[in-house]
Amino acid sequence: MKQETKCIQSGYQPKNGESRMIPIIQSTTFKYDTSEDMGKLFDLQAEGYFYTRLQNPTNDMVAAKICDLEGGSAAMLTSSGQAATFLAVFNIATAGDHVIASSAIYGGSFNLFNVTMRKMGIDFTFVEPDCSDEELEAAFKPNTKCVFGETIANPSLVVFDIERFAKAAHAHGVPLIIDNTFATPINCRPFEWGADIVTHSTTKYMDGHDVAVGGCIVDSGHFDWMAHVDKFPGLTTPDESYHGITYAEQFGQGGAYITKATAQLMRDLGPIQSPQNAFYLNMGLESLAVRMPRHCQNAQTVAEFLENHPMVTWVNYPGLKSNKYYERAKKYMPNGSCGVISFGVKGGRKAAEEFMKHLKVAMIATHVADAHTCVLHPASSTHRQLSDEELIACGVTPDLIRLSCGIENVDDIIDDLNQALASIQ
């Protein structure tokens, strides 16, 4: 099936007389006739459901749809994108291990790695996504367990060279994990470029309507854990907390990683997505293939308008020929990257603050990547404690406006920006 069809049909095929829409199985538990039947489930000898913290049919249907869209072998939903990032890395890296991450990643991921996971004893090296081969090579250590990057980074819009980092990771016997939130599988399928595992904040384009926070992890099934027995003991040696199961032996290359993350990490940590939220997510996914091209078209038109406006000093959007990542974006995302743009207004922090006051269509929100056009001036909101110098040091200039183009008529978005820019002239 093509992506547009998978958005509608993957994950759930109703049988004769069954509900057309996926059912919401709003139940914590599942009933069995005999203890033996349930025992087999606990031993992971039989497939089925016993407790929603581990698995729920609604969640599994939606995970299967995302799995199909990414071209993966197995997938699971999580309560948020943050939980997906954490579980994806923690599933293969624990105390005493080391991880390489791109420095151009979502701020939440950066804090998770640099502060919270460091407290758990995991070491991180952040590399510039455009570093030299020597610098990348020098980042690997004997205890490196994975490499992490973001297809198109929120909010810097740096496009990651997936193929190059996948080759480097594989040369060192470790997988590449890609946060594919901004591109979605409609614009980029990281597994086709060598990535091994994909994570999502489904809160963004997948949900698409500001309704439900959620996350997803997808395994490609391409990484051969058994070829690196010593590096990944959690997958290749018996799990004493799970009746001595060896995940890579019992569930094979395509199933081991997600089964371990479910049976062990979900069991112990519990960041599940509620079935009700999974239902909302599924509604968003049904129109994802229709919405993404519209987000990209609108953003392209708006970026070109801004680039030609005398009150705009710079525009960052990978679809502009002037952008540093134009060629790389064409390679990885030939049909468009995402709907998010950043730009600077003439007059710095004061002018940017004034500009925000005049917007009528674009709504002020910390959110991005949904149907509504939304806008943020970090220097006067999320980053207001910082001085101009401090802002510049963390890559957020005082004049920076982040604009997430929704799927409204682009003329209305442009008219709105135009009148707000005119008012600060």
Ligand X SMILES: *Cc1c(COP(=O)(O)O)cnc(C)c1O
Return residues touching ligand X (CB under 6 A): 80-82, 85, 106, 108-109, 150, 154, 179, 181-182, 201, 203-204, 213, 215
**Which of 152/351 has CB closer to ligand X?**
152
**Which of 181/300 has CB closer to ligand X?**
181
Q: Which helix (H) or strand (E) holds 137?
A: helix 133-139
**Which of 85/236 has CB closer to ligand X?**
85
* Residue 212 CB, nearest approach to ligand X (Å): 9
C-alpha torsion sign, points 180, 183, 185, 188: negative
* Residue 308 CB, nearest approach to ligand X (Å): 29
* Residue 48 CB, nearest approach to ligand X (Å): 29
**Which of 181/342 has CB closer to ligand X?**
181
Cα separation, 174 vs 92, whole angstroms: 10
Helices (H), 43-132: 57-70, 81-90, 107-111, 118-119
Strand partners, 99: 124, 146
Strands 400-404 and 340-345, how do they pair? antiparallel
146 close to 175: Cβ distance less than 8 angstroms: yes
Residue 35: DSSP 8-state: H
Q: Write the burial class of residue 282 (CB in 10 Å: 0-12 exposed, 13-18 middle, 19+ buried).
A: buried
* Residue 254 CB, nearest approach to ligand X (Å): 25
- Rounded to the nearest 10 degrees, what angle do helices 348-358 and 410-422 cross at? 130
**Which of 181/397 has CB closer to ligand X?**
181
Residue 357: Cβ within 10 Å count: 10
* Residue 154 CB, nearest approach to ligand X (Å): 4
**Which of 185/215 has CB closer to ligand X?**
215
* Residue 391 CB, nearest approach to ligand X (Å): 20
Residue nearest to ligand X (CB): 81
Q: Which helix (H) or strand (E) holds 88?
A: helix 81-90
**Which of 109/144 has CB closer to ligand X?**
109
Cα separation, 233 vs 247, whole angstroms: 10
Strand partners, 200: 216
**Which of 150/416 has CB closer to ligand X?**
150
**Quick one: which of 306, 320, 145, 281 has its CA closest to 225?**
145
* Residue 246 CB, nearest approach to ligand X (Å): 31
* Residue 319 CB, nearest approach to ligand X (Å): 18
How many residues in the chain?
425
Q: Which amino acid is at 215?
A: G
**Which of 106/223 has CB closer to ligand X?**
106
* Residue 162 CB, nearest approach to ligand X (Å): 15
374 close to 362: Cβ distance less than 8 angstroms: yes
Residue 282 — φ and ψ, nearest 5°?
Answer: -60, -35
Q: Write out the two tokens for 44.
A: 């992971």
